Amino acid sequence: MDNTYFILSNRAIVIDRLHICTWDFIGENAALELGFEFMPNPYAEDIEIILSLPFLRQTDKVTCLMDALIRDDDNSKFIFNDTINANKAINGDKRNGAILEFKSRDTLSVLPIKNIMVEDGVCSFAINRTNQNVKNYVRLYIQTSVKNLAIVNKGIAKTAYIYDIKINENRNLPNHIYDLLNNGYFLCNDVKSCFCFHVIPSQYSISYLNTSKLRNIRILESEEFNHYLPNTRKIRPNEFLIIFNKSENSTDGSYTFFSEFEEETIGNKQIMLAIATNLICSLLFGISSLRNWHMGVAWYNKLPWEFWTAILLLLSFVAYLFIPWQKIVIEIKNKFKK
């Protein structure tokens, strides 16, 4: 999995904070949240942002999270980790965004993203910066069509999930980004700080973290998240861990975050495979002992019922291990829905 992300815009802008949050769901496709906090700039009102995300496909769904952030103060407190003193609609209508005044941190103008376009590897959208007196903030949620945003190394007993996320790393510049830079777009390499969150299943163990960038590890607050994004997958209590990393003051605007997690994979399938292997060995030894019995009798008449039982169990194990029953059930359900 190529995890080199690039951020471009049609105007030179300063990103005060960049938020990245990966979601790893067992048995479901991964998701990604991106948040951008821009410094005020009276000379850049309408901005077009282009994101180069190598995992992105044209069919992926990209959603603006402005409504979730400004719907009520609890959601804003959950994301920005600060108490809300005031939540004021822009121009009297929250469809234009809202001004959030916090107890401790700077005031934010949370804005909608518009004209979302998704292609393979690229997502673009527009921002109308209606308020230039305070910092602007936009946030989006990407439901991907890939199982993992990490590099997955499967072993017999363990599976490793390697997150090697790179932001604006010029040595990995793809051709389509090079072409955009030659056509008037700017690489957003003036990034003051970058926050990288990994939401992982709680049964994963932590193999490696960069302690110089690590800020926090905690259980994800299920109730707060379900209230924040009620239309996404429901989170159960103690289901996920959230790993918080932070890096800042990069000289060239590029950032890297490397983490590795592991999952024990000795489960039902591994146990079934061991039983099936044992049955095969037992059958081979048993059948060899029947080789000289009842000469002239068909081989299948030589086998006692215990052998047939073992063969049926073996076939059942093979069917369980290698036939994608979940996909078959989903296809059948879809046919009945039509």
pLDDT at 157: 75
Asked which of 264, 288, 322 is the last residue of a domain, the reply is 264
Q: Quote the CA–CA distance of 2 and 249 in Å, as a whole number.
A: 24
**172, 166 Cβ separation under 8 angstroms:** yes
Same domain as 172, residue 297: no
**178, 213 Cβ separation under 8 angstroms:** no
CATH at 140: 2.60.40
Task: Give 264-298 as a DSSP string.
Answer: E--SHHHHHHHHHHHHHHHHHHHHHHTTTSSTTS-
Question: Can you tell me which residue has the tokens 């700077």?
Answer: 106
Q: Quote the CA–CA distance of 131 and 125 in Å, as a whole number.
A: 18
Asked which of 247, 264, 281 is the last residue of a domain, the reply is 264
Q: Which residues contact 175 (CB under 8 A, 6 or more apart)?
A: none
pLDDT at 91: 84
Same domain as 145, residue 277: no
Three-class SS state of 139: strand
Same domain as 140, residue 278: no
State the total domains in the chain: 2
Per-residue pLDDT of the chain (338 residues; tens, 9 = 90+): 568 899 999 888 889 999 999 999 888 899 999 999 988 766 566 889 999 999 999 999 999 999 999 988 889 888 998 999 999 998 888 888 899 999 988 899 999 999 999 999 999 999 887 666 788 999 999 999 999 999 999 877 788 999 999 999 887 788 888 888 888 888 988 899 999 999 999 989 999 999 999 999 999 999 998 988 877 888 889 999 999 999 998 888 899 999 999 987 766 666 666 777 777 777 666 666 665 555 556 656 666 776 777 778 778 777 776 777 666 776 776 666 55
Same domain as 164, residue 118: yes
Give the DSSP letter of residue 94.
G
Q: What is the number of other CB atoms lying within 10 angstroms of the CB of residue 297?
A: 9
Same domain as 162, residue 288: no
Same domain as 276, residue 232: no
- The answer to whether the Cα torsion of 13, 255, 33, 9 is positive or negative is positive
CA 1 to chain centroid = 12
Same domain as 291, residue 253: no
Q: Quote the CA–CA distance of 8 and 3 in Å, as a whole number.
A: 16
pLDDT at 310: 74
Same domain as 226, residue 189: yes
pLDDT at 1: 53
Same domain as 306, residue 180: no
Same domain as 293, residue 209: no
Q: Which domain, by its residues, includes 277?
A: 268-337
pLDDT at 337: 57
Same domain as 179, residue 39: yes
Same domain as 303, residue 227: no
Asked which of 223, 242, 264 is the last residue of a domain, the reply is 264
